[in-house]
């Protein structure tokens, strides 16, 4: 059975190893690369164990490729996160850490740092940020870049799918907005059956909101299916690497914009094309449980393209002959988002998440117009708090201050409820991870050490949903 008939006839149950025939290399060529980028999406797919969501196309993609279980973005909001994975650099290294602070002020990337598409062009790739998709799709790509710096020139060669077949090898991306608020999708999930994290009130508003988010993921999967079918139809599937991932964590109160697991943990699925031999360390039909960072995508793509990893690039090659040794930790950072100033730095190892808060005097529910206008549970928490109707776990989100340090055992406490930072039994782990974050700050030359002044925040921080540009960026 070849993969084309496998795609038509099978569902996503179990491994697809039987559908992987011995690949035939194409001499003198490199594979095409297609990124499918979901906005504001956690690992809420059937293949990740989520319930009340229907994602047969992405589940099938995972069974044909590798599903990455511990893949994290470096920032929990779009512009610093996208600036990072498109350069292979931490946002705090290159000065793109404050959300949407440098999109139109002439700020340029530091010397030796370029967007991935520039490096890919040098390697002989045609580049595309696809907006104009085949008419039978019934939708357009979002065309989002949202880089937090000023780009001089033309970052992509085209926005038209029709150009791809005539320009190979290509590096292309399609952005999907379904899981970005506000959600718009056919209703399917049952609010009574969705799984609500314990730090949110079990309330009809919460359940409806979660159901709408999961329905958005279901709709996103439908659209991904159309893309995968088109690759098959045009004879591109066997020569194109498909990479599906989220640009930052889930669009819920304690997800996006915060450095908990929910703000940084996103799905990553990679399917290798049948016409090229799979690289070392890449085994189709398996699950990868190593710690991976979104800045690892750029050097990995360049390695696939036959180009060397740029000298300054901080990301690591994920697979192939030049793959890096497994990482002991991955790191993240959050600074100003919209008008709301925090400074968090975080580390995640195989078991623990550590968060250092440099602004502990500020409440979790610090004023943020975007969330107040778009997140019904954000306002629900405030209302139920005023009525004394929250549990102690939920009340923690309404406290007037936040802890300076947080440490969570992700095996025993996946929802990050019990802060171990002050417990003597975990002192050694706390010191180890605190030191790792301090070294991360020093190694990156962290440009967020000095907070933006109130004047700068007032000038650049007020990105309200009703006034923000819709294309290519959204609030």
Residues 137-177: pLDDT tens digits? 999 999 999 999 999 889 999 999 999 999 999 999 999 99
pLDDT higher for 14 or 435?
435
pLDDT of the residue at 105: 81
- Please compute the mean of the pLDDT values over residues 333-351 and round it to a whole number: 97
Flag the least confident range among 19-33, 385-399, 431-445, 452-466. Answer: 19-33
202 — pLDDT class (breaks 50, 70, 90): very high
Q: Are the C-beta atoms of residues 65 and 242 closer than 8 Å to each other?
A: yes
Q: What is residue 11's predicted lDDT score, i.e. its pLDDT? A: 33
| Three-point CA angle 41, 45, 50, nearest 5° | 105
C-alpha 10/C-alpha 19 separation (Å) is 10
Whether residue 218 contacts residue 53, with contact meaning beta carbons closer than 8 Å, is answered with: yes
Task: Using the predicted structure, report yes or no on whether residue 461 has a pLDDT greater than 70.
Answer: no
pTM: 0.91
Contact indicator for 215, 188 with CB cutoff of 8 Å: yes
* Local confidence band at 106 (pLDDT 50, 70, 90 cut-offs): confident
**Structure confidence at residue 62 as a pLDDT band (50, 70, 90):** very high
pLDDT value at residue 458: 82
Question: Can you give the pLDDT at residue 314?
Answer: 98
Mean pLDDT, rounded, for 324-345: 97
* Peptide bond preceding 424 in cis form (omega within 30 of 0): no
Q: What pLDDT is stored for residue 104 in this prediction?
A: 77
386: Cβ contacts below 8 Å, ≥ 6 apart: none
Per-residue pLDDT for 1 more than 60? no
For residue 329, what pLDDT is reported? Answer: 98
pLDDT at 246 over 60: yes
Confidence band (pLDDT; 50, 70, 90) for 24?
A: very low
pLDDT for 466: 32
Q: Tell me the CB-side half-sphere exposure of residue 354, using CA atoms within 13 A.
A: 23
**Tokens representing 151?**
């780009």
Q: Mean pLDDT over all residues of the chain?
A: 91
Residue range 3-13+31-460, CATH number = 3.40.720.10
SS3 call for 138: coil
Distance CA 67, CA 268 (A): 6
- What is residue 152's predicted lDDT score, i.e. its pLDDT? 87
| pLDDT of residue 86 exceeding 60 | yes
Helix, strand, coil percent content, the chain, rounded in steps of 5: 30, 15, 55
Residue 221 above 90 pLDDT? Answer: yes
Which pLDDT score is estimated for 468?
Answer: 33
Please say whether the beta carbons of 261 and 36 come within 8 A.
no
* Residue-wise pLDDT tens digits, 360-375: 999 999 999 999 999 9
Please check whether residue 295 is in contact with residue 444, taking contact to mean a CB–CB distance below 8 angstroms: no
User: CA 446: distance to chain centroid?
Assistant: 21
Q: Is 186 exposed, middle or buried (0-12, 13-18, 19+ CB in 10 A)?
A: exposed
Section 369-395 average pLDDT: 97
Of 105-114, 266-275, 416-425, the range with the lowest mean pLDDT is 105-114
> Distance (Å, rounded) from C-alpha 257 to C-alpha 197?
17
**Helix residue spans in 344-464 (DSSP H):** 369-374, 376-386, 392-395, 427-444, 454-460
Looking at residue 462, its pLDDT comes to 54
Q: Is the pLDDT of residue 56 over 80?
A: yes
Residue 12: is its pLDDT beyond 70?
no
Calculate the alpha carbon distances from 362 to 33, 46, 97, 359, 392 in Å. Answer: 43, 37, 19, 6, 19
Percent of the chain exceeding pLDDT 70 equals 91
Show Cβ contacts of residue 437 under 8 Å, excluding neighbours closer than 6 positions. 331, 345, 346, 347, 354, 356
pLDDT at 267 exceeding the cut of 90: yes
């Amino acid at each position: 059975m070849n993969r084309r008939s496998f795609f038509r006839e099978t569902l996503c149950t179990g491994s697809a190893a039987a559908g992987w025939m011995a690949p035939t290399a194409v001499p003198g060529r490199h594979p095409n690369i297609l990124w499918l980028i979901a906005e504001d999406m956690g690992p809420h797919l059937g293949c990740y164990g989520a319930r009340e969501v229907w994602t047969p196309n992405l589940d099938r993609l995972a069974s044909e490729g590798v599903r990455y279980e511990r893949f994290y973005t470096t920032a929990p909001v779009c512009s610093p996160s996208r600036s990072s994975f498109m350069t292979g650099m931490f946002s705090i290294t290159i000065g793109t850490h404050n959300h949407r602070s440098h999109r139109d002020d002439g700020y340029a990337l530091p010397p030796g740092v370029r967007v991935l598409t520039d490096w890919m062009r040098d390697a002989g790739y045609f580049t595309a940020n696809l907006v104009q998709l085949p008419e039978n799709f019934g939708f357009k790509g979002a065309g989002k870049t949202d880089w937090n710096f000023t780009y001089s020139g033309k970052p992509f060669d085209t926005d038209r799918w029709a150009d791809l077949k005539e320009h190979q090898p290509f590096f292309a991306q399609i952005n999907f907005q379904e899981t970005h608020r506000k959600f718009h999708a056919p209703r399917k999930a049952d609010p009574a059956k969705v799984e609500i994290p314990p730090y949110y009130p079990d309330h009809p508003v919460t359940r409806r909101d979660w159901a709408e988010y999961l329905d958005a993921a279901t709709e996103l999967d439908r659209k991904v299916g159309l893309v995968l079918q088109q690759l098959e139809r045009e004879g591109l599937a066997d020569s194109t690497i498909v990479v599906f991932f989220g640009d930052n964590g889930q669009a819920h109160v304690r997800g996006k914009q915060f450095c908990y697991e929910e703000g940084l943990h996103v799905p990553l699925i990679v399917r290798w094309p049948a016409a090229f031999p799979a690289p070392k360390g890449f085994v189709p039909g398996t699950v990868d449980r190593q710690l991976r960072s979104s800045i690892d995508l750029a050097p990995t793509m360049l390695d696939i393209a036959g180009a060397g990893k740029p000298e300054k690039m901080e990301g690591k090659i994920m697979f192939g002959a030049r793959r890096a040794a497994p990482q002991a930790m991955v790191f993240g950072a959050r600074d100003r988002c919209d008008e709301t100033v925090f400074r968090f730095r975080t580390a995640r190892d195989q078991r623990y998440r550590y968060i250092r808060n440099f602004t502990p005097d500020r409440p979790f529910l610090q004023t943020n117009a975007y969330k107040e206008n778009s997140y019904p549970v954000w306002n629900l928490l405030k209302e139920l708090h005023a009525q004394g109707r929250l549990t102690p776990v939920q009340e923690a989100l309404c406290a007037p201050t936040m802890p300076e340090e947080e440490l969570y055992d992700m095996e025993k406490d996946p929802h990050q409820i019990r802060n171990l930072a002050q417990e003597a039994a975990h002192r050694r782990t706390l010191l180890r991870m605190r030191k790792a974050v301090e070294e991360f700050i020093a190694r990156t030359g962290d440009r967020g050490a000095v907070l933006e002044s109130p004047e700068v925040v007032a000038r650049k921080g007020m990105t309200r949903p009703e006034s923000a540009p819709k294309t290519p960026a959204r609030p």
